[in-house]
Amino acid sequence: MFKNSVVGVGGKQDYAEEMKRLNAECAMWIDKIDTETKRVEELEGAIATLYADEYSSKKAMGGVHAASEHNRATQIHIHILENRVHKVIIIIIIIFSKRDIFQKPLCS
């Protein structure tokens, strides 16, 4: 740590040089800490801005769950239309089967 641990002929000078070096190193680390603190504050500000943008876009869409609600409504509508098509197909099959029953006596 200290170049000369015993205070003797040049001990005060070595101590002063060591203190200057340590103070310079301390100042360097303080500058680095300040720089990183500013950088962290900038990043936190950017994150807050992104969260605010996300919230405003979801609010503009109609709410946080608007996309999932729209998807669910679409799925329900598709299910209803499929049921209608299925009922119509059954009716058509019944009509064709009855038509065949009535056509056989007419054709013979």
**Number of domain units in the chain:** 2
Whether residues 12 and 59 share a domain: the answer is yes
- 56-104 pLDDT, tens per residue? 887 887 777 878 888 999 999 999 999 999 999 999 999 988 887 777 7
Q: Alpha carbon 67 to chain centroid distance?
A: 15
| 3 is a domain residue | no
Whether residues 50 and 69 share a domain: the answer is no
Whether residues 86 and 41 share a domain: the answer is no
Whether residues 12 and 56 share a domain: the answer is yes
Check: CB of residue 4 under 8 Å from CB of residue 11.
yes
| 52 is a domain residue | yes
Mean pLDDT of the chain: 85
Cα dihedral 77/78/83/85 (nearest 10): 120
- DSSP state letter for 4: -
Calpha distance 40→32 (Å, rounded): 12
Whether residues 54 and 75 share a domain: the answer is no
Q: What is the pTM of this model?
A: 0.43
| 26 is a domain residue | yes
Alpha helices in the chain (DSSP H): 11-61, 66-107
User: Domain range holding 73?
Assistant: 65-108
Whether residues 72 and 44 share a domain: the answer is no
- The whole-number pLDDT of residue 10 equals 56
- 13-54 pLDDT, tens per residue? 888 899 999 999 999 999 999 999 999 999 999 999 999 998
